[in-house]
Amino acid sequence: MSVQRRQRFGAFAALFSVPFLWALVFMIVPYLVMISVSFWTRQFPLFVPDFQFGNFVQIFSDPQYTTVILRTLKIAALVTLGALALGYPLAYFLVFTVRSEGLRNLLYMSVIVPLWVSYLLRAYTWKIILGTDGAVNSLLRMVGLIDEPLTVFLYNQTSMVITLVYIFVPFMVMPLFAVLSNIPKALIEASEDLGVGPFMTFWKVVFPLSLGGVVAGATMTFCLSFGDFVAPVLVGGPDGTMVANLLQSQFGAALNWPLGSALATLVLVLVLAVLQVSSRMDRAGRVGLG
Amino acid sequence: MISRPIVALSGVAKSYSSFIALDTTDLSLGEGEFVTLLGPSGCGKTTTLRLIGGFELADRGRIEIAGEDVTAKPPYRRPVNTVFQEYALFPHMTVAENIGYGLSVKANNVPAAERRRRVTEALAMVGLEEMGMRRTAELSGGQRQRVAMARAIVRRPRVLLLDEPLSALDVKLREGMQMELKRLHRELGITFLMVTHDQQEALALSDRIVVMNRGRIVQIGSPAELYDAPTTPYVADFIGTSNLVPVRSVGSDGQFDHLLMADGTRLRRRRRPGDRVFPNGQSVLAGIRPERLLTSDGGEVNRLAGRIVEALFQGDRVRIEIALAGGYERRSIFANVTRTASTASGAIEPGTEISLQVDPFDIMLFAAEDGQ
């Protein structure tokens, strides 16, 4: 090894040792611990090292767990669809309809700004809006549609989806806004020039070119809501438990770390699978703009 | 005038907030013509093209294409197609899909077999027979240009609009594409309307050139008309280049205008039918093209005396900058003289005195107030 190369290696090590150590100590080692604990056995009052698949078997055989996992998948999927249904038209409106750049940036910031507010606070707000004395009930009573406050708005899966859509919609709008802004206006003009009206122009040109943003936004929204545990606690009802709450209770009240670790490993695998699929889709759909 | 125009703009105007992009304008394009809108950036040429294409709507006036009022119609309801400046090819489609795009949408109702035949035909017209399955990202600049052309002609428009179609290409490629454009125009027989800021391109390709400046049409004419008989100093200097020399009109007879230069030199200018007559003593501008100033010894008429400021060797020619005698110090003129002639007339060195001659046919005359 020449002096120069040794020096270069020294500089390389100095530059990257800190982030590498950080990743090792705070990410890789904890993952390894989590995965190994998932094979341990529970032995009252605590648990002992072991290598057996009982915890995983329990997760997949006990309907209590499978129900929660399926429900979490369903809610995350609904939140993703809801955020897409709200976020896409919004991003499209901002990019293509708003003419003034100042107004566009202002509106875009107003979509993003709630991210500065504590996540807990924003989730809690929906409890107030949807609650018995909340804005929705007050409005309905004011216009005389109901006499008694309704309780159907809060503590169910719908209220969870509404809350999570509200919280995560900026993560959908951001990539969509970026990707739509990058579509040259000349492509839309070219499409209309070739005799294609606005509706088909959207389906044939704008939408295919924005798929990268759809995939990115959907992935973020899905993964974030899949791991959420605040909305179920604040606005979810008895049938609103999600995987993260289950995890929390296994590590807390139930004091069953091996089962908790097995659940966490499953969540990790599911999220990695989602990321894998989305990066494949992204690569397949990627096209050079320009 | 054109008896049955394919495109007719009458009283069309367009402004963006306070900027007048196009002042009230009338323009007619004939069937099968190759017309160029020529001018510097911001002169209104692109706005005119976009108004015809339907990408902008006029504030005032009326636009007719093929006898139909399209003033308020969107681009997809107009029988024109456009070759965009940066081509605007769809990056998520192959070459063939790009070309077939305008035929593939249901509303346009072209059966699949017919569509394939026309795409193949269009590919052949632009010499890209083998390229149909390529992605547009794999193409060179010249190939993209050809795909853009093919896509625009495949729907058989009545008018083809070309927005600076060659400006993104390098010089070599551009000259080849000029030939291609000329050939396509001849083969298709439809009207071409091209926007360019390149006067060489305009001169080489057009049947008629529309010179624009500051949102107005300055002059319309064939390339030869604009070159030989510009109506304003602006056109004289924009189409080719012109030396503009302030002189005084000292009368006209039937054949000649007589002009007096500041140093007392008299120039004779051959009049053309319809030329304006300037009153005795009025200040006017004499326009002389650099290539029409001769060093050859053709007698004592129409000789301009001056001193050489700089001489640039250009191979077959020498470009000379000359300070004219008598109060013209601050405004030098240029002459392009051929090498043989210049060698014959002796050394061309900065500082030496020179005398140049101009034929009475080669002087243009403009009112001084026309300015630039």
ipTM (interface pTM): 0.84
Question: B304: closest CA among B280, B277, B284, B324?
Answer: B324
Nearest C-alpha in B relative to A200: B105
- Best CA proximity match to A188, nearest among A289, A54, A268: A289
The backbone torsions φ and ψ at residue A183, rounded to the nearest 5 degrees and listed phi first, read: -80, 120
Q: Give the model's pLDDT for residue B324.
A: 86
For chain A, residues with pLDDT lower than 70 are: 1-3, 284-290
Partners of B89 on chain A (C-beta within 8 Å) are: 190
What token pair was written down for A8? 């270069």
Sign of CA dihedral B283, B324, B287, B369: negative
Nearest to B219 by CA among B52, B344, B318, B366: B366
pLDDT in tens, chain B (372 residues): 456 799 999 999 999 988 999 999 999 999 999 999 999 998 999 999 999 999 999 999 999 999 999 999 999 999 999 999 989 999 999 999 999 999 987 666 788 889 999 999 999 999 898 888 999 989 998 899 999 999 999 999 999 999 999 888 888 888 888 998 999 999 999 999 999 999 999 999 999 999 999 999 999 999 999 998 899 989 998 888 888 888 889 988 888 899 988 888 889 898 888 788 888 888 898 999 998 888 766 667 788 888 888 888 887 788 889 888 876 666 788 888 877 655 555 667 888 888 888 988 889 988 876 544
- What per-residue confidence (pLDDT) applies to B59? 95
User: Residues 6 or more apart from B370 whose CB is under 8 A from it?
Assistant: B232, B233, B234, B285
Q: Which CATH homologous superfamily contains domain A56-289?
A: MetI-like (1.10.3720.10)
Partner residue facing B75 (CB), from A192, A205, A209: A192
Peptide bond into A45 cis (omega under 30): yes
The answer to whether B76 contacts A209, with C-beta atoms less than 8 Å apart, is no
CA closest to B155 among chain A residues: A194
- A121 interfacial to chain B (CB closer than 8 Å): no
Query: Which residues on A lie below 8 Å from B137 (Cβ)?
Result: 287-288
Instruction: With beta carbons under 8 A apart, name residues in chain A contacting B122.
Output: none
A100: which 2 tokens?
A: 């003034």
Closest residue of chain A to B94, computed from CA coordinates = A287
Nearest to A192 among B76, B89, B137 (CB): B76
Predicted local distance difference test score (pLDDT) of residue B354: 84
Nearest-by-Cβ selection for A192 from B74, B85, B92: B74
CB contact under 8 A, B91 and A209: yes
> Rounded to a whole number, what is the distance in Å from the CA of A277 to chain B's nearest CA?
20
pLDDT at B329: 61
Nearest residue of chain B to residue A198 (CA atoms): B76
pLDDT at A1: 52
pLDDT reported for residue B371: 47
Q: Taking CB atoms and an 8 Å limit, are A193 and B91 in contact across chains?
A: no
Q: Which of B88, B107, B151 sits opposite A189 (nearest CB)?
A: B88
Closest in A187, A193, A287 to B53, CB measured: A193
Closest approach of B221 to chain A, Cα-based (Å): 29
Residue B221's pLDDT is 95
Residue from A183, A194, A281 to probe the interface with B (highest B Cβ count within 10 Å): A194
In chain A, which residue's Cα lies nearest the Cα of B82?
A193
Nearest to B207, CA basis, from B6, B55, B31, B50:
B31
Cβ within 8 Å, pair A184-B88: yes
Closest CA to B231 of B221, B240, B241: B221
Q: Which amino acid is at B331?
A: R
The C-alpha of B55 sits at a distance from chain A's nearest C-alpha, in angstroms, of 7
- In this complex, the residue of A187, A193, A200 whose CB is nearest that of residue B90 is A187
- What ranges do the domains of chain A cover? 56-289
User: Which residues, 6 or more positions from A174, have their beta carbon under 8 angstroms from its beta carbon?
Assistant: A112, A217
Q: Residue B342 in 3-state DSSP? A: helix
What is the nearest CA distance from B162 to chain A, expressed in angstroms? 12
| A289 interfacial to chain B (CB closer than 8 Å) | yes
Question: Which pTM was predicted?
Answer: 0.83
CA distance A210 to chain B (A): 11
CA pair distance B221, A289, nearest whole angstrom: 40
